[in-house]
Amino acid sequence: MLKSLLVKDYMTADHLAFNPEMDVLTAVHQLLEHHLTGAPVVDAAGHLVGFFSEKDGLRVALNASYYEQPGGPVGQYMTRELKTLDASSSMADAIELFVANHFHCYPVLSEGRLVGQLSRRDALKALEKLW
């Protein structure tokens, strides 16, 4: 039954996204404000170019403590090596990725374009429907 559930039906479509030029402190504030562990980073054309996470935000704080200069663009701190999910993937495949990796959420693509993101919480909600 889990194989029949699709990522597109459980992902968050109205996701927060950053651009690489955005001030990193603004991005950290938005993650906190929206209670998110991370958000995709897209270029001006809407293509996924990275992901900015709480861990990346902590790197900002660490740099600030050493160099006394917090800030810079999101692109300087974001993670560029990404794992993504396709919107038509099964939730079973998505859950396997969550179990195998340390990521809290994945950007979701459809035809190469960012359409949302799937979090561990979203995956648990899908499982809950099966109980």
- pLDDT score at 49: 95
- pLDDT score at 46: 84
Residues of the chain with pLDDT under 50: none
Give per-residue pLDDT as tens, 56-78: 999 888 877 777 777 889 999 99
Q: Which residues contact 62 (CB under 8 A, 6 or more apart)?
A: none
Q: Show the tokens assigned to 5.
A: 């559930």
Residue pair 48/107 in contact (Cβ under 8 Å)? The answer is yes
* CB-based burial, 32-63: b 16+ in 10 Å, e otherwise: eeeebebbbbbeeeeebbbbbbeebbeebeeb
SS3 percent helix, strand, coil of the chain, rounded to 5, is 40, 25, 35
